[in-house]
Chain A
């Protein structure tokens, strides 16, 4: 909301500079977003001039050379001292004539756009200034001719007794400069969408006197009105309609002061009647509509709900389809306007209008909201109506409009007023307890001060013991309904700025992370410690992700992806079912920027429609199963890793450090699981078509706690290629885990931790090399070894793999390190020998034999 300061101060002038006014308004809840300068920067150099003579310019058909009396020479910055006497000014306006009083900018004057006027030669004739049109000093849009001040004064447009002697500072005659305060009005305060409402706030915030309400004296009368009728068929959507008739209206431009205020407030002046409706709206917050009464067929308006699907052509020539929650105003020839949104051209005020029907109505806010958003018709009026105005405001606007219609349009007001609607709710009566004010704020406000504040804001407030009995004014009816609302009214004017600094008592409250939250931090820290960078990607993903990942039609990431109804773009149409897409995006972006050596991970939420195959619901902290039942969306926390390129920096010691690849990813997985003390297995997933985004021979499912908790593998070369990541040896590889499940495993691993004595007696270590067919997987070998090793075998690992001529084609040699331990003594060779024999026998059963 743009409020010209000059206008605001006519209702409440606290005698403060604009910065202090800004501070008071902001600190009491009417936030000043910006302060603009409207009109000229400084009034210096702008004067009234008298045109003494006008001659044709010798070198230009459209220019005139004028002698203008600009009064005695004034000291002005940048203006060359000139002798007294008329100034020669070249002027292009067609309406300039000898004898006129005009607005003049002298050399040195600074125009609104910041340029400083200089004495200049125009086609060979020196010109010492400029005769002004209204747009040149931002009074209005007019540029057809210069402003003729004596003509304006004759119509009274410059106010009573204007001083238009040559040399009079122009600022005394015309509103050529004001500050404009741009305010953020919160949606609960439509009463502040009018200058007078803001003035009331300023009054409460500063204590400066508030002028009487501009609608306090009504030049018109209530009672029956002859010549126009209004029927309301849907009172639930139209609580009140008022109308008055003005006759002998003369359509003309508005006076400069009105144009200047409208322009400063951001509205374009049109003609006096239309300008009055806009001006009154800006002053009172209540929109109005002026009909040409002679063009209202039958002199009768009907307010009704639109029919579902009813089509109306609006003022802008567009055909619009309405529904029954929208309201139409029609006359005997059909619809003339959509209530609260847009008038129709048929009954618009025009140059020849002489009889005006001034309609001021109150509309049901939600209905206007529905209509304006549904039809895409937003206006100053609709944005006020939709917030819910008070029906009492209708007459505020009627009264102010009537005064201006009489004053500016020479109109006569027909007796009587159409007034359909009411009665309106009685003012709410609320008790404000002083004790409650103190207990909510933590600071006391005296009863007397509370009363003073509420009265300044337009409430009635009577003391009753320690309490106030408060009656809410109609303009605040929707916003203030409870004691809590009154506490806010008091606090924002006096209290907030005095609040002491205290902390809550925190009885019985202690702060700590949950076990899951701590474990998640540990998991993330382990990855960071392993040299991985955390990324934060987009939740949104494009439908084309499924294609890029080579997903089949049945893949749940494709078939059960969650779609948005109103995405910002097609690229952001889905909620991601996997973190892989956003990690690939991050990797591709870095790679394209020359950083292809990457160790990235992401922790985030993934989404899938409830009931997707293979996606049970289970998560951290909240009851996700219940939420999924409410929303139809199952969301889980996931953790994913993506490695690409070199995994260590190049150095003079190792010019070609190891690249990504399956085992690099598996190393990260092992480090992660080790940090969490979780035991997982990677099981062969060669035949799994749901992992076709991975290399067919280098992929695995990650299993833990008896269920699948994720996948790991090298990217399929075609997927890597589609993101322009290098493939081949040490190809990009990654993994994704259901973080909730992983953390649950970690939690149960942490629960049963008890000391075991690994220190008192040493372990016995043995290495074995066994040659086996290469189809035998290491996990099978270790499982057989562990089984055969029994309780004596504490640990068994593969530490080397060899295949080559020495072990024969189709074979490979696995080197195993075995450690044996018991808790009550030091083992001897004799203890271990039989166990080792059983292990060898087990290996032979797998088709192996000891090497060498």
Chain B
């Protein structure tokens, strides 16, 4: 009996070693360890053996069975690993093919992206964002902004009219007075929006976008304007930028200034390293970016004092600054966009480059 166990074990071990695949191995498992196989039968028949043989045969048969099980297990794991390797090798792909596309992302329009960047700058400086109507009254667009009755901007060559007293706003400034009517000082707001003037050529489109700024408090100085716009210039055009204020004239600011930012293309030198004239600032070293000034006292006089803005805007008690900047112009400078009309063509090959 014991000999037969050894014989079976040797025979099975040789067969397992020689098995060529997991199917053959499974066959061997059934043949040597299955319900009807000889070794398990022996184990089941142990009880019927004479008592002196029982324990020895039982032990030997058990050892043989466990050894075979372990061997099959090990051989099986070996084979699975090999078969998996083969499978994986067969599954090799051309890794240079393009990936399965996820939904590609879209893009914000460059004007929206620029507007958000500007809004965020001024939000960080403590300003709130307000919006206003694009169809405006002559009162808010001109009168309340201290434009005298013959100011050329009122002409039909310079302003779109919907009716005698209603225009498409020519700037975001009409919201200055609307904002002051609605809120008491201190007031810190920026007003982005679309504006309109009847010009159409390479450097003018009949619609464009501005961001107005207005800060009114007891003691806001022109130096504060300079600081605020310097922060803007550094964030948008780089940390080394400087700003300069140049006297100018606007009916609704006094003093009025135009604000130049030192040219980022030539670092304000006006010429490039190779000695050629800077093409961006045309050798000036400065780029004109916006108009600004201290709010003209006459503008405050157009703000009636009401419940919503009490104590109102008394020009002897409040002062502040305002500016208006062109979003298209700033995006043009920043991104080197050569022609205003590109903004409104919406060619996807343009759109995908920004935002």
Contact = CB atoms under 8 A, between A and B. Distances in A.
Contacts of A784: none
Interface stretch (B13-21, B30-38, B94-102): B94-102
Contacts of A501: 223, 226-227, 230
Nearest to B351: A533
Interface in A572-597: 572, 575, 586, 589-590, 593, 595
B169 to A, nearest CB: 10
A595 B348 contact: yes
A373 B133 contact: no
A65 interface: no
A488 B295 CA distance: 12
Contact of A499 (B245, B254, B296): B245
Contacts of A567: 160
Interface in B146-197: 149-152, 155-156, 160-163, 166, 168, 178, 186, 188, 194, 196
B200 interface: yes
A828 interface: no
B323 to A, nearest CB: 13
B212 interface: no
B41 interface: no
B136 A187 contact: no
Contacts of B257: 496
B207 A538 contact: yes
B223 A442 contact: yes
B133 A441 contact: no
B232 to A, nearest CB: 12
B178 A622 contact: yes
Contact of B198 (A504, A566, A630): A566
Contact of A631 (B109, B136, B155): B136
A535 B109 contact: yes
A186 interface: yes
B222 A442 contact: yes
A566 B157 CA distance: 8
A590 B223 contact: no
A832 to B, nearest CB: 36
B134 A649 contact: no
How large, as a class, is the contact surface on chain A? 35 or more
Interface string B241-261: 000111111000011111000
Interface string A492-519: 1000110111111111111111100100
Given A440-B221, A442-B224, A600-B346, A512 B249 contact: no
Interface in A538-565: 538-540, 562-565
Nearest to A491: B255
How large, as a class, is the contact surface on chain B? 35 or more
A653 B100 contact: yes
Given A511-B124, A563-B162, A632-B163, A535 B223 contact: no
A534 B161 contact: no
B247 A29 contact: yes
Contacts of B227: 501-504
Contacts of A575: 135, 162, 168
A83 interface: no
Contacts of B105: 528-529, 531
A492 B258 CA distance: 11
Contacts of A590: 346-348
A497 B119 CA distance: 28
Contact of A502 (B186, B221, B246): B221
Interface string B300-323: 000000000000000000010000
A121 interface: no
Interface centre among B124, B126, B206, B294 (most CB of A within 10 A): B126
B248 A499 contact: no
A93 interface: no
Contact of B222 (A491, A533, A631): A491
Contacts of A624: 133
Given A595-B349, A633-B162, A530 B106 contact: yes
Contacts of B226: 499-502
B223 A443 contact: yes
Contact of B297 (A439, A482, A528, A632): A482
Interface of B: 97-98, 100-101, 103-109, 111-112, 116, 119, 122-137, 149-152, 155-156, 160-163, 166, 168, 178, 186, 188, 194, 196, 198, 200, 206-207, 215, 217, 219-224, 226-228, 230-231, 244-249, 254-258, 294, 296-297, 319, 343-349, 351-352, 355
11 contacts: A29-B248, A31-B248, A496-B246, A504-B217, A508-B186, A540-B206, A564-B168, A589-B346, A631-B135, A631-B166, A651-B100
Q: Which 7 residue pairs of A and B lie closest in terms of their CB atoms, listed nearest first?
A: A442-B223, A442-B221, A29-B247, A186-B249, A492-B247, A488-B255, A586-B346
Given A29-B248, A365-B150, 9 more contacts: A366-B149, A506-B217, A511-B126, A514-B128, A589-B345, A605-B194, A627-B135, A632-B162, A632-B166
